[in-house]
């Protein structure tokens, strides 16, 4: 009975967390429109939150690279991927340096991370597979599909001009597209933080279990 109650509470907790994740993008868009008077532009709460979530995802995988040697090569590649996404999201700010400047640090990150990970490729592949078959890996996949596929399709100008005709307003399309992107980044952050916490905690849990079992063996009568 107690185990069933714990499972039920755990499921309710995950459902509540999932609800908060789904509610975040429209809530921030509402604040942008009604509170800040910002039409979900480059410096809106929606855009800034996207960038913040990417920074947090990069930091999570950097932590994994520092804490788990068997995950290091994979974690470096994951951190580089999200750092590249962050630079792409910051393209307007980087254009102040030079138009299209974001491409240069992205190229350096891609080449550098691949070169570094290639030194430990035999552990990179098992680490990647271990991540993909985990629950956070599934959440990450959903986030990437939302970001790279669904948001691009739902944000097609031809879709909205065909639907709205002369009533088409670009800000409407942008709001739909940007909030969908934020939802994808929310899933990515949840997967990143959840998986890294799980992997970092595993050695500590194993040591505690070993100590507990060792104490039990010592107390067992001969």
Residue 26 lies in a domain: yes
Residue 206 lies in a domain: no
Q: Does the pLDDT at position 38 exceed 80? A: no
Residue 214 lies in a domain: no
CB neighbours (10 Å) of residue 187?
Answer: 25
Q: What is the pLDDT of residue 79?
A: 97
Residue 91 lies in a domain: yes
Domain around 39:
12-198
Residue 208 lies in a domain: no
Domain count, the chain: 1
Residue 62 lies in a domain: yes
Residue 73 lies in a domain: yes
pTM: 0.86
Vertex 86: Cα angle to 93 and 148 (nearest 5): 120
Virtual torsion, Cα 99, 102, 107, 109, nearest 10 deg: 160
Q: What is the pLDDT of residue 36?
A: 82
| Tokens (6 digits) for 76 | 């470096």
Residue 1 lies in a domain: no
Q: What is the pLDDT of residue 165?
A: 84
CB neighbours (10 Å) of residue 32?
Answer: 23
pLDDT in tens, 72-91: 999 999 999 999 999 999 98
């Amino acid at each position: 009975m107690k185990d069933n109650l714990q499972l039920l509470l755990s499921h309710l907790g995950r459902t509540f967390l999932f609800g908060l994740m789904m509610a975040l993008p429209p809530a921030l868009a509402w604040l942008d429109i009604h509170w800040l008077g910002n039409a979900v532009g480059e410096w809106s709460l929606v855009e800034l939150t996207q960038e913040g979530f990417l920074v947090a995802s990069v930091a999570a995988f950097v932590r994994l690279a520092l804490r788990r040697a068997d995950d290091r090569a994979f974690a470096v590649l994951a951190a580089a991927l999200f750092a590249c996404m962050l630079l792409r999201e910051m393209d307007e700010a980087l254009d102040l340096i030079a138009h299209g400047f974001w491409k240069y640090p992205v190229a350096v990150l891609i080449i550098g991370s691949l070169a570094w990970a290639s030194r430990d490729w035999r552990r990179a592949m098992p680490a990647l597979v271990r991540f993909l078959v985990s629950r956070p890996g599934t959440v990450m996949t959903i986030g990437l599909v939302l970001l790279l596929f669904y948001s691009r399709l739902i944000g097609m100008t031809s879709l909205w001009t065909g639907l709205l005709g002369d009533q088409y307003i670009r800000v409407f399309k942008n709001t739909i597209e940007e909030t969908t992107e934020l939802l994808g980044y929310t899933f990515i952050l949840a997967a990143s933080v959840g998986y890294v916490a799980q992997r970092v905690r595993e050695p500590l849990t194993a040591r505690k279990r070993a100590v507990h079992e060792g104490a039990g063996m010592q107390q067992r009568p001969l």
